[in-house]
Chains A and B, each alone.
Chain A
Amino acid sequence: MIAIEFILAGMLAAATPFLLAALGELVAERSGVLNLGVEGMMALGAAIAFITVYTGGGHVPAFIAGGICAMILSLFFAFATIGLHANQVATGLAVGILGLGLSAYFGKPFESFTVTGIDKIAILGLAELPLVGGLFNQDIVVWLSLLFTVALWYVLTRTKLGLLLKAVGENPHAAESIGYPVRLIRVGAVAFGGFMAGVAGAYASTVYTPLWADGMIAGRGWIAVALVVFGTWMVGRVFLGALLFGAVSLGGIAVQTVGLAIPSQLLTSLPYIVTIVVLGIISSNKRLLRLNGIASLGEPFEK
């Protein structure tokens, strides 16, 4: 019982870094660009945001600074892949590693320091409910992330901008021939993805676990990339996937507190095992992938 209450209360916050990074990557991939540097961009965003809060900058500037630094990193990636037609996978990996290195460099003087997180906002009436009450007592970033998810879903499915993004991802040559600036749209999508990864990292280092430790992103960026495929490039499914991972990552801790004799290493690897299994199941549904998949994903666009 306590374990379930614990998971329900914490899973939204645990899911937020996955969710924000994955939604950013979803936008980039919808335009046809596969950016595998999410992990590094998150780490850089996390380091910069932590330093900003620690040096007294406050949380709002910290999120913005983290987002912008990660966005700048993503623009390097955009320049190489969209401007120079470099291979997206290799460039993404390289930029990711660069981001991890930069985060370690900037974060070095702050290793193991902590900052104060932010207060939670409870929804009156609901937060007092037994068992599920914790679900309605979350920090402002979680609430904003939920609003952002709905807004992004609206933009992608109900507006011309969303349609355009999908069109560019499906057939960049056709989009160019009817007069749209394909490269510019792709750069914009990648930059947005970078900003979101930075914000996701900022949340992880200044709110969710408000401390700096090198390597603290710990693979969450990779899971975000997997989540996009897992969610077949649809906002709603990516949201559900992020929730699942949030819950699974807490499940490990919950099981330990209950005192089951399962090695903790096995429990912490749970999210990754779940990733592989779910990706395997999704990939077996060819119809779903074909209808929602991004036809030009990963391919350089040359006239």
Chain B
Amino acid sequence: MSEPLLSLRGVTKIYGQVHANSGVDLDVEPGAIHAILGENGAGKSTLMKLIYGVETPDEGDIYWRGERFEVTSPAAARKLGVGMVFQHFSLFETLTVVENVSLLVPGSKRELISRIKQLGTKFGLEVDPLAHVHALSVGERQRVEIIRCLLADPKLLILDEPTSVLPPQSVELLFDTLRRLAATGVSILFISHKLEEIRSICTHATILRCGKVTGNVTPKDFDANQLATMMIGRDMPDLAPAKEVEKGPLLLDVAHVSLPTDDPFGVSLEDVSLEVRGGEILGIAGVSGNGQSELAAVISGETMLPRAADGRLSMMGSDVRGIGPAARRKLGFAFVPEDRLGQGAVPQLSLTKNSILTAHSKGMVTRGMIHGSRATEFTRTCIANNDVRTSGASAEAGSLSGGNLQKFIIGRELMLEPKLLFLNQPTWGVDIGAAIAIRKRLIELRNAGCAILVISEELEELFELSDHMQVLHDGRLSGRFKTSETEPKDIGRAMIGAEEAAQ
């Protein structure tokens, strides 16, 4: 065995009461593609922050080529030869690609442009150096991030959940690039919770659970179930799609809706049509930034279509053009937004007060006065029925973990007994246990006759949940796919707009 490029010994990081990492040992060999596997909250990101110098460990040592190093800042880490591609990119949207690169890599603009092009051909990372970043797709932005790291000639490249934003075809492209890189001797730390991906590309895997290392394995020797067991500490629950139930009336009818935007960073919706019936879950797939937030705003009522707008937008049979969110909720519409802290809940307020925000119609307010006891009772029921782990109804919403807060918000909306429920990224950043609980609740609700619309970037989730799928690409919505007769690669093609190109 060659000398490891990077070694961690007994690394511990404590935030308040939480041991984000405790006694982590890790060895990364030169040229290895090394996976850090673990579910949300297992401490993967913290560990990477320690290696990249964003945080410093409370205990333990970091060795670089056998020598002990104190990595006190990202600049110091980069000097050693560590590059990192963040899950939420650290690019500057108003600058061009080459300007973004020049902030990190010395050299004249002309030199950098030719180096970007060279690297693009060598590793399959083509991108226009003079394009503004805000005009690029998510996949292209990721390429820019990787290029920017590579130009600094790293010995170790850290990728944080790099595939979560890519359509299946681009994932293959990325893996190609990574293999070529590893062949040149660069070590890659690949953070992910997707088991199949790790099995297909990684040569080593270190598995984290609750901040501790629970396994150091060669991923190809194990099947996905065995890896999952190491990752979540129990068997992977069965995720077979639920049986179809009888369809009810048409509850959400969107036809030929267009919404131009004057925001240069936004996406215009063009001729969008979809319908959801009672007892049906419709999933909207697509790479983020293709009009998801715009579509969500039109359906929730945050963006109101003018009364005289072309097309149709009706809920429960009544026209909701020119009608705001509150009036839509009165019709039996409920909405779980993408942003839990800020839109779904007010982080500084107690859970009880957060209940009042949307559930006030449940007898909590009379003549403008709040019935505190009723609100508390409602909140307690919500906490109990949805297995929300919290100290109680008076806990601040911001103190809950992402998964628990999401369970609370969805629970709150479900208690309103909606006829039509709309969720945007319901399980983003939620741990597996909570995600499964949420999906189960949604299927129960569907079986009871509710119409559900889900926007999600997680294809697996949509395949588990939905009866039908449509794909959003560049502000246009594809036709309906019946989930049981569709392969992920069909959806993947629509996600990158290949359907349109083929026509």
Contact = CB atoms under 8 A, between A and B. Distances in A.
Interface string B252-285: 0000000000111100000000000000000000
Given A166-B92, A178-B74, A179-B75, A290 B264 contact: yes
Interface in B451-470: none
A111 interface: no
Contacts of A202: none
A167 B95 contact: yes
B86 interface: yes
Contacts of B265: 290
B264 A174 contact: no
Given A177-B54, A177-B86, A170 B94 contact: yes
Interface string B66-83: 000000011100100000
Contacts of A163: 95, 99, 102-103
B113 interface: no
A170 B265 CA distance: 14
Given A163-B95, A178-B74, A179-B78, A291 B90 contact: no
Given A166-B92, A167-B95, A160 B102 contact: yes
B103 A164 contact: yes
A174 B91 contact: yes
Given A160-B102, A163-B99, A290-B265, A176 B92 contact: no
Contact of B104 (A178, A290, A291): A178
Contact of B74 (A166, A171, A179, A292): A179
Given A167-B103, A171-B92, A291-B94, A286 B74 contact: no
A276 to B, nearest CB: 23
A178 B263 contact: no
B86 A286 contact: no
Interface of B, secondary structure class, is: loop
Contact of A174 (B54, B75, B90, B99): B90
A177 B160 CA distance: 14
Nearest to A164: B103
Contacts of B387: none
Contacts of A179: 73-75, 78, 104
A160 B98 CA distance: 12
A178 B94 contact: no
A171 B54 CA distance: 16
B93 A170 contact: yes
Nearest to A173: B90
Contacts of A173: 90
Contact of A286 (B78, B84, B262): B262
Interface in A157-215: 160, 163-164, 166-167, 170-171, 173-180
Given A163-B102, A177-B86, A177-B90, A287 B95 contact: no
Nearest to A178: B104
A254 to B, nearest CB: 40
B92 A174 contact: yes
Contacts of A166: 92, 94-95
Contacts of B103: 160, 163-164, 167, 175, 178, 180
Contacts of B86: 177
A167 B92 contact: yes
Contact of B263 (A170, A174, A175, A290): A290
A291 to B, nearest CB: 5
A84 B102 CA distance: 31
A171 B104 CA distance: 15
A-B pairs, top 4 by smallest CB distance, nearest first, are A179-B75, A174-B90, A179-B74, A177-B90
Given A170-B95, A175-B92, A180-B75, 17 more contacts: A160-B102, A166-B94, A167-B95, A170-B94, A171-B90, A174-B90, A174-B91, A175-B103, A178-B74, A178-B78, A178-B104, A286-B262, A286-B263, A287-B262, A287-B263, A290-B263, A292-B94
